[in-house]
């Protein structure tokens, strides 16, 4: 099933859920893999199965991306291994709890993983990709980045960051040969929900997508060169109108006079 060799994909949060499915699908597409997460047993089991089924080379890095040492090790790999052509920034945690029921130390850890680690890994990967004029980054964001009222606000805000960073990278890296994509899943059937304190079985089944379907659709979006991929959104025109309103605002967002509605202009 493997096709032409595509280089190596480094996938964070590859021990379960969406990341494990990316690993499987990318190996079948001809990528060698570097799988990153904390759970050694699950990573090794996945690496063994994928190697058997695809004959691709699969390496495992057991690292806690909330820990500076673990994060630095993955950054070093991204800087030094010129075979890496794809970074999938997937590791992330979330919760549904409101501010008054949330512990700020947990929120800081969430930001460290969803924002800081993703940013550091991106900064480690991009210079080599640009120098080689080849590479791609897939950032797993979330629909709550554009609907932060839905779950925990820090989680929503962390994913708004991921989407905004991806949009900025797309702009900065135009004409470098480096591609970026932000994937915005809605509710997806993975351990994410139980880890965050709300098992997925508690959600109405009509709003929950199978993780296989999510990843397969997201990869179709990647193949089509999409910058923003929202597999659960059927009415694409809603996103297109939202995005074109944002683009229309851009040239008007910085002026030397407050808008007339504030009544302060001399
Ligand atoms: P998941 O099954 O819980 O996977 C999360 C992955 O992140 C696991 O492999 C976990 O592995 C890894 N991880 C967690 N903390 C880590 C740490 N400190 N260091 C390294 N790895 C860590 O959930 P998922 O749904 O596949 O989540 C993947 C991404 O999708 C996340 O960014 C999430 O925000 C996003 N997303 C999910 C949904 C959804 O409904 N499921 C919706 C929108 C977006 P270890 O425990 O082995 O470290």
Domains of the chain are: 8-237 (3.40.50.720)
Contact 128, 82 (CB under 8 A): yes
CA dihedral 168, 170, 172, 177 (to 10 degrees): 160
Q: Looking at 38-125, which runs of residues are DSSP E strands?
A: 58-62, 84-89
Paired strand residues for 142: none
pLDDT of residue 5: 84
pLDDT of residue 4: 65
* pLDDT tens digits for range 55-92: 999 999 999 999 999 999 999 999 999 999 999 999 99
Find out whether the beta carbon of 90 lies less than 6 Å from any atom of ligand 1: yes
Residue nearest to atom 48 of ligand 1 (CA): 38
Find out whether the beta carbon of 93 lies less than 6 Å from any atom of ligand 1: yes
Residue nearest to atom 2 of ligand 1 (CA): 17
pLDDT tens across the length of the chain (266 residues): 445 689 999 999 999 999 999 999 999 999 999 999 999 999 999 999 999 999 999 999 999 999 999 999 999 999 999 999 999 999 999 999 999 999 999 999 999 999 999 999 999 999 999 999 999 999 999 999 999 999 999 999 999 999 999 999 999 999 999 999 999 999 999 999 999 999 999 999 999 999 999 999 999 999 999 999 999 999 999 999 999 999 999 999 999 999 999 999 76
* pLDDT tens digits for range 170-195: 999 999 999 999 999 999 999 999 99
From its phi and psi, is residue 135 left (phi > 0), alpha (psi between -120 and 50) or beta? left
pLDDT of residue 265: 73
Number of H helices, E strands in the chain: 9, 7
Find out whether the beta carbon of 37 lies less than 6 Å from any atom of ligand 1: yes
* Nearest atom (ligand 1) to Cα of 117: 19
pLDDT of residue 266: 62
* Nearest atom (ligand 1) to Cα of 15: 9
Find out whether the beta carbon of 19 lies less than 6 Å from any atom of ligand 1: yes
- Integer CA distances (angstroms), 101 to 144, 188, 198, 201, in order: 19, 24, 14, 22
* Nearest atom (ligand 1) to Cα of 39: 47
Find out whether the beta carbon of 145 lies less than 6 Å from any atom of ligand 1: no
- Catalytic site residue 262? no
Paired strand residues for 89: 139
């Amino acid at each position: 099933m493997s096709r032409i060799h595509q280089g190596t994909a480094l996938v964070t949060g590859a021990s379960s859920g969406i990341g494990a499915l990316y690993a499987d699908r990318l190996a079948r597409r001809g990528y060698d893999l570097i799988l990153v997460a904390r759970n050694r047993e699950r990573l090794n089991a996945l690496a063994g199965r994928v190697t058997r089924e695809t004959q691709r080379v699969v390496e495992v890095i057991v690292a806690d991306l909330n820990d500076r040492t673990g994060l630095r090790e993955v950054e070093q790999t991204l800087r030094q291994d010129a075979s890496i052509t794809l970074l999938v920034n997937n590791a992330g945690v979330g919760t549904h709890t409101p501010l008054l029921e949330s512990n700020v130390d947990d929120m800081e850890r969430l930001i460290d993983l969803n924002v800081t680690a993703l940013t550091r890994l991106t900064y480690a990967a991009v210079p080599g990709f640009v120098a080689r004029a080849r590479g791609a980054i897939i950032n797993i964001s979330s629909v709550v980045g554009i609907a932060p009222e839905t779950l925990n606000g820090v989680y929503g805000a962390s994913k708004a960051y991921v989407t905004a960073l991806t949009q900025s990278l797309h702009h900065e890296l135009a004409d470098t040969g480096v591609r970026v994509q932000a994937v915005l899943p809605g509710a997806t059937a993975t351990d994410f929900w139980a880890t965050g304190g709300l098992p997925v079985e508690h959600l109405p089944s009509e709003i929950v997508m199978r993780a296989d379907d999510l990843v397969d659709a997201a990869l179709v979006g990647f193949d089509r060169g999409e910058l923003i991929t929202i597999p659960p959104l059927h009415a694409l025109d809603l996103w297109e109108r939202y995005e074109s309103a944002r683009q229309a605002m851009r040239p008007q967002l910085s002026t030397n006079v407050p808008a007339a509605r504030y009544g302060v202009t001399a």
